[in-house]
Structure 1
């Protein structure tokens, strides 16, 4: 088993005015020397939109799969075609940008901060039109499959060999994550709480990449909200 540990304290930070951006890794803005893309996963961003934020965060996207999870508050997402989406807490959105679109996101509340997790993946095929999918994340003491290559178990279908699951677990619980392919790698990201995997303790917004054929066993030291990203071997 090979581990790459990304402590929360080593995330990069940029103040964009009404948006505070924390990056675990990004292909364009590496937070640390060892923060290269993990295969198809090229960015993991955490955006905090300040209350009453009238400023917007607009960026063009082309041939990118974007996973968004609202952890707190409400985020409004619009594109240059007029499509508008209201994303509330625990809403998960998967955007396939296709040949190109321009996305604007901003806080939907005048009084509450919004916390958004956003992960970028390169697709296997670079075709198709812009497409949105949305579901609610609500699993307790088990993992809920949110994203998969074939849309199994009511998950959203992504154009890549990627599976994303989320679960909340009670303190002292233990869970074994069963991979879809033993050759795949796994990236754990703690949204809240504390967990241990491969002997590594993970706290708030810590990340851990795990490669190897061994089962991924996670012990939850506290009540914990955990995201698991499984993807093709990136070594």
Structure 2
């Protein structure tokens, strides 16, 4: 079964310094039909003005992933991590029993755009953790998150996988999954055809009851593919 979440239907927030689009219910945006999908709880598409950002605030028992699409993030947290995350890199912060952090646009001139993604962990508490990596722009599927850190991926506290999908125009691949798993695809750029469902940038699609997905790029595609419990 396929259910498209169109970009135009997402929640919106406008704080002047922050423009955000919410795939699922978040902060003041609430839709009881959009409370997440399996362990995937948040996908926010955030644009942050130069020099602005999120002041220090806390989280616990959440896996928080950031992917910079343009610009760079200046990250600080209460575990002592002070990092700059440039475009193309992934950052995973496991909040564990509790962590405080801030995320600012590292540039005084350039806008920052990034995806903020929350995944609910399958364990409570534990030490907070921080991971950051550039996985490059290899064509096909690149494993970004896994529960065991396989193939150089970041280690996620959940029985879930995340892949970066890059397909040139007119290229096709098939993704196979185990019976009972669910998938979610978020399209960053290009045009993707999945079983006759056309996705445009910002669109997502909920998938259940499928064990083989044939993905076709009508135009060069960059997307995130989540394989969820």
TM-score bracket, shorter-length normalisation: over 0.9
Indicate if the aligned counterparts of 1:58 and 1:104 stay in contact, CA closer than 8 A: yes
Do the aligned partners of 1:10 and 1:31 also contact (CA within 8 Å) in 2? no
Checking the alignment, whether the CA contact within 8 Å between 2:11 and 2:25 is kept in structure 1 is no
Deviations 1:163-201 (A, max 9, x none): 00002211111111122x232111011101110112210
Q: 1:29 Cα deviation (Å)?
A: 4.7
SS of residue matched to 2:93: strand
Displacement of 1:117 in angstroms is: 0.5
1:49-95, Cα deviation, whole Å (9 max, x unpaired): 11233x53443201111111111110111123442121001110111
**Residues 49, 112 of structure 1: CA spacing in aligned structure 2 closer, same or farther, 3 A cutoff?**
same
Instruction: Show the counterpart of 1:226.
Output: 223
From 102, 105, 119, give the equivalent of 2:103.
105
- Residues 25-55 of structure 1, C-alpha deviation per residue, up to 9 Å, x if partnerless? 13655554521221211111111111233x5
Give the one of 187, 200, 203 matched to 1:203. 200
Give secondary structure in 2 for the equivalent of 1:138.
Answer: coil
Q: Residue 9 of structure 1 aligns to a residue in which SS?
A: helix
Which has the larger share of strand?
2
Contact 1:139 1:167 in 2 (8 A): no
C-alpha distance 208-13 of structure 1, shift in aligned 2 (>3 A): same
| C-alpha spacing 1:30/1:200, structure 2 compared with 1 (3 Å) | farther
Structure 1 position 52 matched with structure 2 position 51: yes
Q: Determine which of 78, 81, 92 is the counterpart of 2:76.
A: 78
Number of residue pairs the alignment of both structures matches: 229
Q: For residue 135 of structure 1, report the CA deviation from its aligned partner.
A: 1.2
- Segments of structure 2 that go 5 or more residues without pairing to the other structure are none
Instruction: Indicate conservation of the 8 Å contact 1:10/1:32, yes or no.
Output: no
Give, in angstroms, the shift of residue 122 of structure 1.
1.3
Asked whether the 8 Å contact 2:81–2:130 carries over to 1, the reply is no
Report if aligned partners of 2:51, 2:104 keep a CA contact under 8 Å in 1: no
For 2:34 and 2:28, how far apart are their aligned partners in 1? 9
Q: CA RMSD in A?
A: 1.6
Shift of 1:98: 1.0
Find 1:173's aligned residue among 171, 174, 195: 171
**TM-score for both structures, normalised by structure 2:** 0.94
Aligned to 2:10: 11
Q: Distance in 2 between matches of 1:197 and 1:170?
A: 15
**1:192 aligns with one of 189, 192, 196:** 189
